[in-house]
Amino acid sequence: MKVGFIGLGIMGRPMSKNLVKAGHELVVFDFNKEAVADLVSCGAEAAENGKEVAQKCDVVITMVPNSPHVRAAVLGENGVADGAHEGSVVIDMSSIDPTESKAIGGELAKKGIEMLDAPVSGGEPKAIDGTLSVMVGGKKELFDKYYDLLMVMAGSVVYVGELGAGNVAKLANQIVVAVNIAAVSEALTFAKKAGADPELVYQAIRGGLAGSTVMDAKAPMMLNRNFKPGFRIELHIKDLNNALNAAHSISSPVPLTAQLMEIMQFLKSEGYDKEDHSSIVKYYEKIASVTVE
């Protein structure tokens, strides 16, 4: 299948490489010329803009930072909509505000262009090994048609509902992940402050009800002082901001999300926003005057 791919960042680059490895013809665009050159060296074709990508491909995947970037890539000057034809499909795999997914999809529909919102979870490591979790909103027949394409980049691809539902699921995911990391941070900081070995406490509780994928991914990073970003604090701030906005628009209270946003704002003020979100532990270390290691 000939596929367009716009957005070759920390997630988009490995995702697009997996599509090439699977034998798909890929036409790529990004403002980062080095990233484009990297994909071309793997066998992809470079395009000058989103319009050219859409002219050459019936399906275009977008993987960009936030709502304004999706709107610009799809509906902006020389964007996908300028080059697409009736029956073209946009699969937006960015994590954005679900109300914007619906709005952008509505604009595309006026031109006969279909859209799925298909945000991902798993961070850079799972993008590299092709085991992301993908949450998809849109028409079920479109989901069925492109399920195999999405599975090239994923370990699971789940249909959630109408357009926008994919990003609702992603925001729910980000709430759970943020609160879980904070809980792990709080627990290990408590263990250290109480005089116990946090590594042994982690090993003791990970096999019980407290154990989780998040704990197993992030506790070792905290203990080893490894905050190399798999998913940056600044990106989680973006997601929680979208979650707060979406929740407030429907009067759904999210007090834990609000608290985590303030913790992450503290980390940003301390210069940790480019680090992995496991750096949440640094907030607890600061207020408890201990180091979890």
State the amino acid at position 293 in one-letter form.
E
Beta strands, E only, the chain: 2-6, 25-29, 45-46, 59-62, 89-92, 114-117, 120-121, 132-137, 154-161
3-state secondary structure of 270: coil
Catalytic residue among 17, 51, 170, 192: 170
Handedness of CA 36, 9, 94, 141 (dihedral sign): positive
Cβ count within 10 A of residue 104: 25
Indicate the length of the chain as a whole number: 293
Q: How far apart are CA 54 and CA 90, in angstroms?
A: 9
Closest CA to 11 of 123, 97, 95: 123
Strand partners, 216: none
Q: What residues contact 67, with CB distance under 8 A and at least 6 apart?
A: 96, 97, 100, 242
Q: Which two tokens stand for residue 24?
A: 């798909």
145 is catalytic: no
DSSP state of 44: -
Which residue in 280, 248, 251 sits closest to 180, CA to CA?
A: 280
The catalytic residues are 170
